[in-house]
Amino acid sequence: MPIPGGTVTVGTNRPMFRPDGEGPARTVRLRPFLIDPFAVTNRWFAAFVDATGHVSEAERWGWSYVFCNHLPDRGPGLDRPESTPWWCRVEGATWAAPFGPGSTWQTIPDHPVTQVSWNDAAAFAAWAGGRLPSEAEWEHAARGGLSQPRYPWGDREPDDESFTPCNIWQGDFPDTDTAADGFAGTAPVDAMAANGYGLHHMVGNVWQWCAEPFRVRSLSRSGKDRDAAARATGERLIKGGSYLCHRSYCHRYRIAARSGSPADTTTGHVGFRLAFDPPKAA
């Protein structure tokens, strides 16, 4: 989809998670660009692997993180990080077997590819002739032409019952997902209504890798905006939140929200979409 350029605002002066660097708001000048209306699907990523022989980082490591509720056996003995016990280290989990051995991408071909690292996403982008979007491009596209909305559809907050414009968690995380939005996990990339620019799932469904490192912006003592490198330790920026987000603990399905993840990390709730430079005039 073509996205107009111009002077755009990135971030917010009302940050909800200050340590993530959501603010202060700042202006950026963008050139026009193109962005895919959908996240990259399992089917498209499979075509990339068939064409290139790409071996993903999860395949090289031999394991990846799967949300525990998606496993048939949730009992004791699962390898869970202490700080995030809803994730399980699963041997053999990859983009092609997103829930581990016995699962296959072929049952969900039109869902966003997951279990892909930033490095995998960058390799795909180079093959497809595109690139990962910058944070400024991502936020500008997510607004869909609206003036500083909190979400791609406006300012109305999603709830757990009747207003479910994006694929996020409904219920009591991490134990009960009522799936009021119709999905207990990822959804097809076109499942929810598009924003004003025709882009689907700019928030919710899966986090989306962006081009740049994850840095925290802050105000210096002089009041000037600066880049704080304290958290630029190999992490890459992700935007948009995922099907695991809920306002009670991870209200990061807002346009200004942001987080970071190591470039070689793979999980079941991070994917990506492509941006493109417009073709040059002949």
Domain residue ranges of the chain, discontinuous segments joined by +: 2-56+111-276
**pLDDT tens column, 144-178:** 999 999 999 999 999 999 999 999 999 999 999 99
Predicted confidence at residue 76, as pLDDT, reads: 60
Task: Specify the CATH number of the domain 2-56+111-276.
Answer: 3.90.1580.10
Confidence at 192, pLDDT banded by 50, 70, 90: very high
Question: Is pLDDT above 80 for 233?
Answer: no
> What pairing do the DSSP bridges indicate for beta strands 33-35 and 2-3?
antiparallel
pTM score, two decimals?
Answer: 0.93
